[in-house]
């Protein structure tokens, strides 16, 4: 922009103010004539329209804040609907030929699991069901964990979505996979893999690789398949084996199947088929329709992933909208304060209070409607962009058209309008209360920061919040009580903001030197309420960032403490379990490692599930006596050496809550439907890595399905150096699918690796909230520069340079940002402590509270830099004001 252009802008803005006042007077007179019946015109609405036309640049910050918040919310809802519809269509298409599914009726769901574990059925049942009237075909379905190794030897997937293997079903109607290239497996060692997994692994037809089942199996890729028309089911990988190989590697013994898929004959409905199958089913086995099976699969994906995914995004949408509320409220509060004389003139020439309030709200709703409609379009574009982006970053969601429902549009639109109207309500009421005599006043004193009522109210609210928090985190943790206290604490911070601003700005500005920085400090202190409102938007964003940073650091510190305290071995071989997306480790790996001369003890930890006295619980399957030499179980009451086939070892906390003790018995119900009485023979203190229940492999063997270990803990023999021992263990692990051998420190770091990924996503999402907050700071500074046009002109007239004027505005922005950042760090740290203390666990199992100084210092630095960036345009505009024109401004 040229200097002439800047002068023109200043003159235009000044003329606009004068023109608006004249138009206001004319329209109010028109409204007065309305009472006589001469003209019927909604004067308040015409006034709002004229004000928006004359000062549209002042509403850019509000428009942008609403647009971003609505766009994020719309994009989240549209993307969730699209993914849900795509998965539903994919499952329906893939299982179209399956009219009924026969499966075990016994399900055991361990604590904390979203989906239970079912027992197997007799594969031979398929042959008997094929002769039931109304049945056209029946085929056993064998499914288990199987993880492919890529061409370079690295595992494919296994970081969340499951890695599956199963038998290739010859009947095309009953097989959810369709051959896209190659042929079906016909000999041992041949597999068909889904095309998406083949792309990720760099495999092609004829390539040979390893399939972890968890025992390593050398396989040759003979076919590529699709699922429901897609290359795969999201990031799920699948390998199809011959039936003989599937029974050999994926079941505990030949003749078992996960379920049986049944196809109906001509004219037989799915309900009729299920009814016909009922009399032929043995006890403990049930039949459901194919439609219900597809719905359960869709619900599994929607409930476990899509529900969590969309809820996660909606939370951050809510944060963005909350930040927008403060930004919009502050904009209208500043505008109302600047138009005090204008509103007073309206009141003096006959405008009713209701007309002034209605005019202000009409401005807010107009901006909100335009911004919300724009946000809807941007949000749909964001959803479409993400739909195209996910496959590019290796997350191939199902293909499908974008699904835009009425609810996905109505909700964001309503939120945008409600946010604008609600945020502008208090400023509008304040505008309506403007006294006519205010038109004669030159200035108005802002005492918002010195209000005794505000200080007392905020102090009382803070005291109640702290009391509620302590009640929720001390003694028995109560997440709901702690959350209530945290919400009250946020409200207290908002109420006390103007009170704290006066003190905080002085403290933060103390290190600053020079006249320009002194002016910046006094400008920030001129209106404590405005400073607090501007900083609050940034404070909310920084507080949420700090909350997740502190909580993530606490989780990592807890994991470090757990490994340091409980892992007494030298190296660990870790493998994701079936539920976590991997195939686990071969149970033969631990004995092979234990046979090394460099190794003293190597013990594997497997996983099982059972109902213990009617409650689903996870079991750790291991050699308890050897486990005690590699894991620190704390004090042990009883003996771990004689559990045998009917003995249990129980963690102390679980024993206390379940009423178990050494010598007592517990009834265990397994997924195969059998019940056995076990005797508690040991109670140990620490369950960190061992889990709550220990059983021997001898006890688990009759009830196991696909056996796998999730961890092998290794202790070296005396005198063996760490490097020598690790190399020997790694050489053995190469023969069992190449799992990674880690030191104690590496094991702790990898266990907490998912936390860093979560924090990265959190920071990326919260960038939107911080961006909206910075728009608020920039908008407030722009309005403040306009408000102080005459003052700035006088400063330039008495010798202040353009660079000095830019520095004043820039330091004012930095002080406001510093206040918001400091408040956000304090509030976020407090909320992080509340979340850590309120999380489940007490004593040794409680989370460790950790404050990551480096990360929080980085957050603080980013806040200050962001404040400086937000001041760029207002400072530039202030420096380009024409001196004489600015002095002449009223």
Proportion of the chain above pLDDT 90, given as a percent: 29
pLDDT at residue 768 greater than cutoff 80: no
* Confidence bin at 250 (pLDDT 50/70/90): very high
Tell whether the model's pLDDT for residue 49 goes beyond 90: no
Encoding tokens for residue 105?
Answer: 């009726």
Kindly state the tokens that stand for 98.
Answer: 């399956």
Over 90: is that where the pLDDT of 470 sits?
Answer: no
Using the predicted structure, report yes or no on whether residue 451 has a pLDDT greater than 90: no
How far apart (Å, rounded) are the C-alpha atoms in residues 55 and 13? Answer: 8
pLDDT given for residue 445 in this prediction: 45
Residues 6+ apart with CB under 8 A from 800: none
pLDDT average, residue stretch 396-403: 67
pLDDT value for 112: 64
Cα separation, 390 vs 388, in Å, equals 6
Measured distance CA(756)–CA(558) in Å, rounded = 14
pLDDT in tens, 775-808: 777 777 776 676 667 777 777 777 778 887 888 8
Residue 58 has pLDDT above 90, yes or no: no
pLDDT in the model for residue 612: 94
Among 134-138, 207-211, 829-833, name the one with the lowest average pLDDT: 829-833
Which pLDDT does position 473 carry in this prediction? 79
pTM for the model = 0.75
pLDDT higher than 90, residue 505: no
Cα 468 from Cα 484, distance rounded (Å): 7
Lowest mean pLDDT: which of 262-271, 442-451, 586-595?
442-451
Least confident stretch, 269-278, 295-304, 364-373, 653-662: 295-304
The b/e string for 797-812 (b: 16+ C-beta within 10 A; e otherwise) is eeebeeebbbbbbbbb
Q: Which of 163, 176, 190, 172 is nearest to 244 (CA)?
A: 190
The residue among 11 and 845 whose pLDDT is bigger is 845
Please answer whether residues 360 and 428 qualify as being in contact, where contact means their C-beta atoms are separated by less than 8 angstroms: yes
pLDDT band at residue 5 using 50, 70 and 90 as cut-offs: very low
Bigger pLDDT: 54 or 731? 731
Q: What is the DSSP string of 834-871?
A: HHHHHSS--GGGSPPP---HHHHHHHHHHHHHHHHHHT
Closest CA to 104 of 84, 73, 125: 125
**Residues 759, 546: contact at Cβ < 8 Å?**
no
More confident residue, 829 or 312: 829
Question: With contact defined as beta carbons under 8 Å apart, do 109 and 239 qualify?
Answer: no
d(CA 651, CA 845): 11
Query: Rounded distance, CA 307 to CA 300, Å?
Result: 10
What integer pLDDT is reported at residue 783 of this predicted model? Answer: 67
Mean pLDDT across the chain: 81
Q: Is the pLDDT of residue 29 over 50?
A: no
Is residue 694 classed as helix, strand or coil in its secondary structure? strand
Q: Which residue has the tokens 């042959």?
A: 127
Query: CB–CB of 733/283 below 8 Å?
Result: no
Average pLDDT, stretch 82-99? 80
- Tell me which of 48 and 705 has the higher pLDDT: 705
Q: Is the pLDDT reported for residue 6 higher than 70?
A: no
User: Structure tokens of 715?
Assistant: 């202790």
Output 16 or 829, whichever has higher pLDDT.
Answer: 829
pLDDT score at 621: 94
Residue 567 has pLDDT above 80, yes or no: yes
Average pLDDT over residues 694-722: 91
Q: How confident is the model at residue 466 (pLDDT cuts 50, 70, 90)?
A: confident
Q: What is the mean pLDDT of residues 864-868?
A: 82
Q: Where is average pLDDT lowest: 8-22, 218-232, 480-494?
A: 8-22
* Predicted pLDDT of residue 45: 64
CB proximity list for 647: less than 8 A, separation 6 or greater: 678, 679, 680, 681, 682, 695, 696, 699
Q: Which ranges of 679-741 does DSSP label H, i.e. alpha helix? A: 697-700, 722-733
Residue 106 has pLDDT above 60, yes or no: yes
CB-based contact 388:440 (threshold 8 Å): no
What are the pLDDT digits (tens) for 518-529? 777 777 777 777
Write the pLDDT tens digit of every residue in 571-626.
999 875 444 456 789 999 999 999 999 999 999 999 899 999 999 999 999 999 88
- Contact between 133 and 276 (Cβ < 8 Å): yes
Q: Which two tokens stand for residue 403?
A: 């699904």
pLDDT of 89 over the 50 cut: yes
**Can you give the pLDDT at residue 26?**
46
Please give the DSSP secondary-structure letter assigned to residue 213: S
Identify the residue with better confidence: 198 or 452.
198
Cα–Cα distance measured from residue 804 to residue 82, given in angstroms and rounded to the nearest whole number: 53
Per-residue pLDDT band for 21 (boundaries 50, 70, 90) equals very low
Domain boundaries, the chain: 44-98+291-444, 99-290, 587-736
Assigned CATH topology for domain 587-736 = Barwin-like endoglucanases (2.40.40)
With 60 as the cut, is the pLDDT of residue 718 above it? yes
For residue 299, is pLDDT > 60? yes
Residue-level pLDDT at 24: 45
The mean per-residue pLDDT over the stretch 716-728 comes to 91
Position 73 scores a pLDDT of: 87
pLDDT of residue 704: 87
């Amino acid at each position: 922009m040229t200097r002439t252009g800047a002068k023109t802008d200043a003159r235009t803005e000044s003329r606009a103010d004068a023109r608006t006042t004249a138009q206001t007077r004319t329209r109010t007179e028109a409204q007065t004539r309305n009472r006589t019946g001469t003209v019927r015109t909604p004067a308040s609405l015409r006034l709002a329209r004229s004000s928006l036309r004359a000062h549209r640049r002042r509403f850019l910050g509000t428009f942008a804040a609403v647009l971003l918040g609505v766009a994020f919310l719309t994009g989240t809802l549209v993307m969730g609907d699209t993914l849900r519809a795509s998965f539903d269509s994919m499952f329906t298409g893939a299982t179209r030929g399956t009219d009924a599914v026969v499966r075990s009726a016994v399900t055991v769901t361990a604590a904390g699991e979203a989906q239970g574990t079912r027992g197997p059925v007799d594969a031979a049942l398929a042959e008997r069901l094929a002769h039931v009237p109304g049945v056209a075909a029946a085929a056993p379905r064998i499914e288990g964990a199987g993880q492919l190794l890529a061409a370079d030897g690295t595992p494919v997937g296994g970081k969340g979505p499951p890695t599956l293997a199963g038998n290739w079903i010859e009947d095309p109607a009953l097989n959810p996979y369709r051959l896209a290239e190659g042929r079906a497996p016909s000999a041992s060692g041949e597999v068909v893999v889904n095309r998406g997994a083949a792309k990720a692994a760099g495999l092609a037809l004829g390539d040979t690789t390893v399939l972890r089942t968890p025992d390593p199996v050398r396989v040759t890729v003979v076919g590529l398949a699709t699922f429901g028309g897609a290359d795969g089911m999201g990031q799920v990988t699948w390998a199809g084996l011959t039936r003989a190989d599937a029974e050999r590697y994926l079941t505990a013994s030949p003749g078992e199947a996960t379920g049986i898929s049944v196809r109906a004959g001509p004219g037989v409905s799915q309900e009729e088929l299920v009814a016909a199958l009922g009399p032929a089913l043995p006890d403990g086995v049930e039949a459901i329709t194919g439609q219900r099976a597809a719905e359960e699969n869709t619900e599994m994906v929607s409930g476990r992933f899509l529900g969590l995914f969309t809820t996660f995004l909606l939370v951050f949408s809510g944060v963005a909208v909350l930040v927008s509320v403060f930004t919009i409220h502050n904009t209208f509060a500043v505008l109302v304060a600047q138009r005090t004389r204008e509103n007073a003139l309206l009141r003096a020439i006959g405008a009713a209070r209701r007309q002034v309030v209605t005019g202000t709200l009409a401005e807010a709703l107009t901006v909100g409607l335009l911004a919300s409609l724009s946000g809807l379009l941007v949000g749909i574009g964001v959803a479409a962009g993400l739909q195209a982006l996910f496959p590019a970053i290796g997350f191939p969601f199902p293909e499908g058209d974008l699904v835009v429902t009425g609810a996905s549009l109505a909700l964001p639109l309503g939120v945008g309008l409600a946010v604008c109207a609600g945020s502008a309500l208090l400023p509008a009421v304040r505008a309506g209360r403007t006294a006519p005599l205010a038109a004669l006043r030159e200035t108005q004193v802002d005492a918002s920061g010195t209000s005794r009522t505000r200080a007392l109210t905020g102090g009382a609210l803070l005291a109640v919040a702290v009391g509620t928090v302590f009640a929720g985190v001390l003694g028995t943790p109560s997440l709901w009580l702690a959350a209530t206290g945290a919400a009250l604490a946020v409200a207290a911070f908002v109420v006390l903001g103007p009170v704290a601003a006066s003190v905080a700005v002085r403290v933060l500005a103390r290190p600053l030197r020079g006249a320009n920085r002194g002016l910046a400090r006094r400008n920030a202190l001129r209106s404590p309420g405005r400073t607090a409102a501007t900083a609050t938007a940034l404070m909310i964003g920084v507080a949420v960032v700090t909350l997740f940073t502190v909580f993530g650091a606490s989780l990592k510190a807890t994991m470090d403490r757990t490994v340091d305290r409980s892992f007494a071995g030298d190296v660990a071989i870790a493998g994701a379990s079936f539920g976590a997306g991997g195939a686990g480790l071969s149970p033969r790996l631990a004995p092979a490692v234990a046979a090394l001369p460099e190794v003293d003890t190597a013990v594997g930890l497997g996983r099982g599930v059972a109902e213990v006295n009617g409650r689903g619980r996870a079991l750790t399957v291991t050699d308890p006596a050897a486990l005690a030499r590699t894991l620190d179980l704390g004090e042990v009451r009883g003996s771990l050496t004689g559990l045998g086939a009917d003995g249990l070892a129980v963690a102390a906390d679980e024993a206390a809550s379940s009423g178990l003790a050494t010598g007592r018995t517990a009834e265990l119900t397994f997924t195969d439907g059998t019940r056995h009485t076990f005797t508690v023979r040991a109670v140990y203190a620490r369950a960190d890595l061992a889990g709550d229940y220990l059983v021997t492999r001898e006890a688990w063997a009759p009830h196991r399905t696909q056996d796998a270990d999730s961890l092998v803990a290794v202790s070296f023999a005396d005198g063996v150096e760490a490097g020598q021992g690790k190399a020997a263990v790694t050489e053995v692990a190469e023969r069992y699918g190449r799992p990674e051998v880690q030191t104690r420190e590496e094991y702790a770091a990898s266990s907490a690796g998912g936390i860093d990924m979560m924090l990265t996503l959190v920071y990326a999402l919260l960038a939107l909230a911080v961006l909206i907050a910075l728009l608020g700071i920039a908008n407030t500074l722009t309005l403040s520069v306009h408000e102080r046009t005459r003052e700035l002109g006088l400063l330039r007239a008495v010798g202040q340079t353009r660079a000095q004027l830019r520095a004043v505005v820039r330091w004012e922005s930095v002080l406001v940002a510093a206040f918001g950042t400091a408040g956000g760090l304090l509030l976020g740290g407090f909320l992080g402590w509340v979340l850590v203390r309120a999380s489940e666990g007490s004593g040794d199992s409680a989370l460790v509270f950790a404050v990551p100084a480096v990360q929080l210092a980085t957050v603080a630095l980013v806040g200050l830099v962001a404040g400086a960036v937000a001041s760029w345009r207002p400072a530039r505009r202030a420096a380009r004001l024409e001196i004489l024109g600015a002095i002449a401004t009223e």
